Amino acid sequence: MERAYQRASGLGILKNSIMNGDGNYAGYMGEETVASYLGADIVSDHSSSHDLVKDGIRIEVKTKRRTVSPIGTYEVSVAATSAHQKPDLYAFVSLQYSRAGIFDERRVYEGLECVWLLGYKNPEDYFREARLLKPGDVDSDNNFRAAVDMFNLPIHRLDPGHDISI
């Protein structure tokens, strides 16, 4: 947690950041967790195409924050602004917090309770199976309003795998 916080503190706002930098800690926490779980090397500080490397496999970690345990019908997302990334595999993570609220017109999450590694998907399968949401589209399943073009896929469609062979 401390490494994720330190890395996020020095990052600032990345180009195409959907949350204007507010998601930096969550992203780094997802990376740190998956890297620790898999025994992978973190390379995101000097690579814009993927976050981790494990046995030559390039992994991009996508993380969402929530206040409830994820269930199979909830969705994972890859923004179209991430099209420049060329991983061999996506790993999807949810950070579950005890509470969230609006502070200074920003959504703030507090009390990290659990980190969920939801599953994996190779990019070819992901984009073939995902559905595109355009800016302003509202997902009728959860009332989420897309801010940018994004590709969503239900968690139950991910590959659970305990290893990362592709």
Q: For a pLDDT cut of 90, what percent of the chain falls above it?
A: 60
Query: Per the domain annotation, does 165 fall within a domain?
Result: no
Q: 72-121 pLDDT, tens per residue?
A: 999 999 999 988 899 999 999 999 999 988 877 777 888 999 999 999 99
- Total domain count for the chain? 1
Query: Per the domain annotation, does 33 fall within a domain?
Result: yes
Q: 117-137 pLDDT, tens per residue?
A: 999 999 999 999 999 999 999
pLDDT of residue 16: 44
Predicted model pTM: 0.84
Query: Per the domain annotation, does 162 fall within a domain?
Result: no
Query: Per the domain annotation, does 15 fall within a domain?
Result: yes
Query: Per the domain annotation, does 166 fall within a domain?
Result: no
Query: Per the domain annotation, does 47 fall within a domain?
Result: yes
The rounded mean pLDDT for the chain is 85
CA 49 to CA 115: how far, in whole Å? 23
Query: Per the domain annotation, does 139 fall within a domain?
Result: yes
Q: Residue 20 sits in which domain range?
A: 2-157
First to last CA, the chain: 29
Residue 152, beta-bridge partner list: 77, 131
Q: At a CB cut-off of 8 Å and minimum separation 6, what does 130 contact?
A: 78, 151, 152, 153
Query: Per the domain annotation, does 97 fall within a domain?
Result: yes
